[in-house]
Amino acid sequence: MQVNEGFKPTIVAFCCNWCSYAGADLAGTNRLQYPADVKIIRVPCSCRVNPLFILRAFQRGADGVILCGCHPGDCHYTTGNYYARRRMTLLFSMLDYLGIERERTRVEWVSAAEGVKFAATMNDFVSTVTALGENKRLEDLRCKAN
């Protein structure tokens, strides 16, 4: 994969409180490294993430947005990630349809025990987005100017 030298992407990671945020904490506890470009926003459940938030992130200059939740079947609220899965599948498909690079969005299921997976996921996502370069197709130049 080609690497864009010097480009530091802005990555927003929405993590559900019960599994993925805990998985991220575990990655930290185990000192597993991943780029500082990833900034995590804690939400109670993956089903809390509104497509508006994802578009908002791109608008304000994010280069990639990833949503992490409990594995299907393990949702703290039983069914939240099932709804999130459908919503994100359709949203990502629509973004792709509009020609927005589909690699800029991702959903990954990370349990509280999967610190290693969390770090690996973030490393992979950051390198994918870095290779894509700056988000040009869904940006708001007014926000960039500030």
Footprint on residues 11-70 left by another protein (CB under 8 A)? 12, 17, 21-22, 24-29, 31-34, 36, 39-45, 47-53, 55-62
Chain length of the chain? 146
Handedness of CA 78, 124, 95, 59 (dihedral sign): positive
Within 10 angstroms of residue 115's Cβ, the number of other Cβ atoms is 21
132 binds another protein (CB under 8 A): no
CB of 111 to another protein, least distance (A): 11
Residue closer to another protein (CB basis): 7 or 48: 48
What's the CA dihedral at 110, 112, 115, 120 to 10 degrees? 0
By CB under 8 A, name the one of 19, 20, 68, 95 that touches another protein. 95
How many residues form the binding site for another protein (CB under 8 A)?
79
